Every structure is written in structure tokens, then in C-alpha cells.
Amino acid sequence: MLAKTPHFGIFLVLLLGPCGAVRGEAPGGIGILGDSYSDEYQFYPPDRSTARNWVEILAETRGLGFGPFTSRSRPEPRNQGFAYNWARSDATTDDMIAAGQHTGLAAQVAAGEVKIVCMIIGGNDFIAAMRAPDPVAELRVTLPRALANHRTAVGTILEASQEVRLVVATLPDILNLPEFLGPIRSGQISVTVADAVTRAVGQFNAHVRALAAGNPRIALMDFDGVSRLADILCRDDVYVAGRWIDRKTPSNRPDHFFLADVRHPGTLGQSVIAKLFIDVVNARFHTGIPPLGDAEILAFASSLATPPPGLGPAGRGGDRGERVATESQSR
């Protein structure tokens, strides 16, 4: 393991892109396709509700337009939260298509409400395959189906308007999730299965990268690249917002990367996605969104829970769950 030095932070900044503001046009409405990483955390106690995800972080700190907000239930698949956020907890790419995430959001795109769409989806497809009686055989079915679903969603969004811009995300290797690390180390998950999953996720990511490389309307959010760099530099901890946080032991404390549910990043972990999104849309689409600073991220994370020593001062007081139960325009 490499020594814990701030050099990791420098490498991460270089990978994420420029940290200075980029002048450009306001992004307008931002729509989301995806799963629990993008579905608003505040509605999922007991673990996710202690944190906030990248959508909630950017709505709160940058006032990005994810649509009118409500804590009342909407018809599926959106349910509560922001009107342009169609991501649903536990969704696979099959669920995304069957539930109509892509067609619902495409209608908002066609109406001129949404100008940028971000899609982070696919992890649950491979998690489900791992839990099948024969994971290796299941992956042979899962991968082509996930790729076809992904292509369908991309095509539907881009066809809705020539003006829309799309951000697609690669997937970190799901074997790095705490829920799988232990079983792999203990031999409960075989090397054969682990290697097959890594290869399948790698092929999915190659498809995502090719999409972004071949279309000027598509930008790449390389979450896999960030994760791989973190693995190279230190497997047990990660340098986020100027602090080393534990990425091996799940906990709802803000100084841990993964929440106690062993799958979802906490607020600081999600801030990596938030920063990456800003850097990508600024560089590719010239949106000019001010970057997130370390002190700002720490203050936001600290405002959600009592911070451990050294995390940083509390910032904006108040529980983000105390939103009014009426629909209001996102900040």
C-alpha cells in the first residue's frame, strides 16, 4: 500500500479535469436515468437517509435544475424527489426500460424542460447475475441485454431533441463493494466468478466509452477510471475533499466512503460523482458551473450528521429531510 499523502488528491484532481470555472451557458434542466446511486437518498432510511447523493448535493450547493421537488409520492417510476430524476432504487437496465424511465424523460426533453441528461445504470444487472445459481452462465445473458437496454435509452433520449446533451457513466468494478470484498477474500465467491464479473463490467464500460468517443452530443463520466486510480494508490482509504476516509469499513459516519448498507457511498463518496459531473459538463458542454471546493463539501457533509474529530466544521444547519411536503421549484 502506498503512503497516505495528499499526492492522491492531486492525482484525483488531474483525473477529474480542470478545477477552475469554465465560462459558458447555464445548463438548464438536468434529467437523470439510473438506479439507487442517483435516486434521492433522503427517502431511504435508515442508512441512505443519513447522507445525500450527488443529485441532492448539486441541487443544494449549486441550485442545478433537476425539476420541481416533492416529498409526496408520484406514480412510478419517479416517486418522490425531483421531477426530472427518473432514477429508481434497485433498478437494472431492464427495469429502466420496462418502467419507462427513458420515455418519461424523453418527453420532458422534447418539451424543452430538460437540456442535459445523465445516465448512471448497470451495476444492479451484474449484482443480480452474481447471485444467480450459475453466475458465469448468467453473465453471458446479462451483458448483451444490458448493452441493448443502454443503447435503447441513449437512442430514445438523443432522438427526443437535437439540442439535448447526454452524460453516460462507466461502472466501477462491483467487486470493490464491501458486500463482495469479504466473500471474495473468504473464498465464498470463486476467482472464476470474480474474473467473469470483472470482464463483463469491463466490456460494458468499453461500450460506454465508445458511445462518448463517437458522438459530440455525448460526454463520458469515467467513474470507473476514478475508482481504478483509487485502487492503485490505496485500497483501504481514499483521499476526498482534503481528507482520508475509510473505504473498507462500512459506516454511516461521514468519514467512511461506504454507508452501513455495504453498497452505497456516503455524502463524501457521492461528492466525487458530483465533482466529476461538474467537470465533465463544463469541459464538454461549456456549462460554466462553479466547481465544488473541499471546504464546501466538508461543511455540507458535516451539516447532515455529527462529524468525527477532524472532519471539519458544521456548515449549513438543519436536516435536509425537513423539506416541505409541497411541490416547489428546485433551488
Buried b (16+ CB within 10 A) or exposed e, 184-193: beeeebeeeb
- For residue 26, what pLDDT is reported? 61
Residues 6+ apart with CB under 8 A from 29: 65, 66, 67, 84, 108, 113, 114, 115, 116
Q: How far apart are alpha carbons 234 and 330 in whole angstroms?
A: 37
- Residue 278 near residue 198, CB atoms below 8 Å: no
Q: How far apart are alpha carbons 37 and 42 in whole angstroms?
A: 12
- For residue 185, what pLDDT is reported? 83
Residues 6+ apart with CB under 8 A from 331: 59, 60, 63
Q: Which CATH architecture has domain 7-302?
A: 3-Layer(aba) Sandwich (3.40)
DSSP annotation of 247 reads S
Question: Which grid cell is 218?
Answer: 455525448
Helix (H) or strand (E) holding 30: strand 30-34
- For residue 89, what pLDDT is reported? 96
Q: How far apart are alpha carbons 295 and 293 in whole angstroms?
A: 6
pLDDT in tens, the chain (331 residues): 334 443 333 334 434 444 443 444 568 999 999 999 999 999 999 999 999 999 999 999 999 999 999 999 998 888 899 999 999 999 999 999 999 999 999 999 999 999 999 999 999 999 999 999 999 999 999 999 999 999 999 999 999 999 999 999 999 988 888 889 888 888 899 999 999 999 999 999 999 999 999 999 999 999 999 888 877 766 677 778 888 888 889 999 988 999 999 999 999 999 999 999 999 999 999 999 999 999 999 999 989 865 444 444 333 223 333 332 333 333 3
pTM score of the predicted model: 0.85
Instruction: Give the other-Cβ count within 10 Å of 279's Cβ.
Output: 21
- For residue 181, what pLDDT is reported? 83
DSSP-derived 3-state class of residue 45: coil
Buried b (16+ CB within 10 A) or exposed e, 10-38: ebbeeebbeeeebeeeebbbbbbbbbbbb
Question: Which grid cell is 167?
Answer: 452524460
Longest dimension (CA), the chain: 52
- For residue 305, what pLDDT is reported? 63
- Residue 118 near residue 31, CB atoms below 8 Å: yes
- For residue 244, what pLDDT is reported? 85
